[in-house]
Structure 1
């Protein structure tokens, strides 16, 4: 009985110590998300009778993170202190693009490879930049995506690079994220219009 007690006591003390080290809610950094806007309402007939997979974007390790990137030189990436995205940037961007597509109700279904193991089209992207650029007197948000659209036979229908810059109003975190959200929205919408044109042509009789 005594030996059992001696083994359990250190464990109890250890657990007590761990609990005391947990951060308080107010000490956690803010978790940031992109806002894809409001979806289309009502019963809408998709403009394109096809399904679309949006793959997770490829990216350099500098963007494959929960952190908000800041470019402070041509070869230098830093991060905003005490701020994090709700997910890694590639996952965040993929979900954002999906939601922008869904808001337009263009396709019969839009999803990732888990949602749609077989699809009519697949949109592959890579993140060239997703950052606040502070290399000049006027900081701006920059979002650049490379895109490739392929059909179910793996034929490449087109490739293109999309990029947008939006001035940042101030160094406040909210203004920086607003600018990134606006740049992401404009980039995604250009990407969606390009995808619509290519898929409409591909599905025309």
Structure 2
């Protein structure tokens, strides 16, 4: 996981002066930017010639942005004001999946749409949870939940669908603590999810 400092500006059109100024001031504040890393999995399987297309995951609007989500109760969400992900959550997870699958060395090619050969299989991902939840005792947990579906490209036959979910405690609501908790969550989930995907592509 890497951390960089960046400054962002936002052009706001058509807003009342005081509102626009407030948005500009918020956007201009330095934010810590976090990047989650791919996960390597050990494999003894021989490399196949199969190719896999990993589509950008789908997610609810509250998740499909580059902000760190904090859910305080079932009806309200907020975001950390001084930190963000380096990309939107769906694009970040897509990159992590591609890099992690590629590092296994088990298939001929894995990539995103518009790159590489015609795929033998397609990986669809639906993100259902990717945020921090505040519990009744005011403690925090990081919850990650996504559903993977593998399709055979030539006839769109579903080769399998599986959900992967984990919840990890978070010591506090600081950005660095939260980011490291999500890295641990991926390190727990991907060693389960990737062999499942590869077994259906090979």
TM-score, normalized by length of structure 2? Answer: 0.78
Question: What aligned pairs does 1:157-172 form with structure 2 within 5 A after superposition?
Answer: 157-172=159-174
Q: Give secondary structure in 1 for the equivalent of 2:31.
A: coil
Structure 2 residue runs of 5 or longer lacking an equivalent are 1-23
Q: Deviations over 1:11-35 (max 9, x none)?
A: xxxxxxxxxxx99xx9421111102
The residue that corresponds to 1:181 in the other structure is: 183
Q: CA deviation at 1:133?
A: 1.3
Q: CA deviation at 1:191?
A: 1.6
The residue that corresponds to 1:53 in the other structure is: 53
Q: Hey, what's the Cα distance between the residues in 2 that align with 1:194 and 1:75?
A: 34
Q: May I ask how many residue pairs the two structures share in their alignment?
A: 174
Q: CA deviation at 1:115?
A: 1.2
User: For the Cα contact (< 8 Å) 2:135–2:141, is it kept in 1?
Assistant: no
The residue that corresponds to 1:114 in the other structure is: 114
The residue that corresponds to 1:11 in the other structure is: none
Greater radius of gyration (CA): 1
Q: Give secondary structure in 2 for the equivalent of 1:170.
A: coil
User: For the Cα contact (< 8 Å) 2:51–2:108, is it kept in 1?
Assistant: yes
Structure 1 residue runs of 5 or longer lacking an equivalent are 1-21, 201-205
RMSD of aligned Cα (Å): 2.4
Q: Hey, what's the Cα distance between the residues in 2 that align with 1:98 and 1:46?
A: 19
1:45 to 1:115, Cα distance in 2 relative to 1, 3 A: farther
Q: Hey, what's the Cα distance between the residues in 1 that align with 2:156 and 2:39?
A: 32
Q: Deviations over 1:163-192 (max 9, x none)?
A: 111111233221111011111232233221
Question: What aligned pairs does 1:134-149 form with structure 2 within 5 A after superposition?
Answer: 134-137=134-137, 138-149=139-150
The residue that corresponds to 2:17 in the other structure is: none
Q: CA deviation at 1:118?
A: 1.4
1:78 matched to 2:66? The reply is: no
Q: Give secondary structure in 1 for the equivalent of 2:50.
A: strand
1:190 to 1:45, Cα distance in 2 relative to 1, 3 A: closer
User: For the Cα contact (< 8 Å) 1:100–1:189, is it kept in 2?
Assistant: no
Q: CA deviation at 1:46?
A: 5.2
Q: Hey, what's the Cα distance between the residues in 2 that align with 1:134 and 1:89?
A: 20
User: For the Cα contact (< 8 Å) 1:39–1:102, is it kept in 2?
Assistant: no
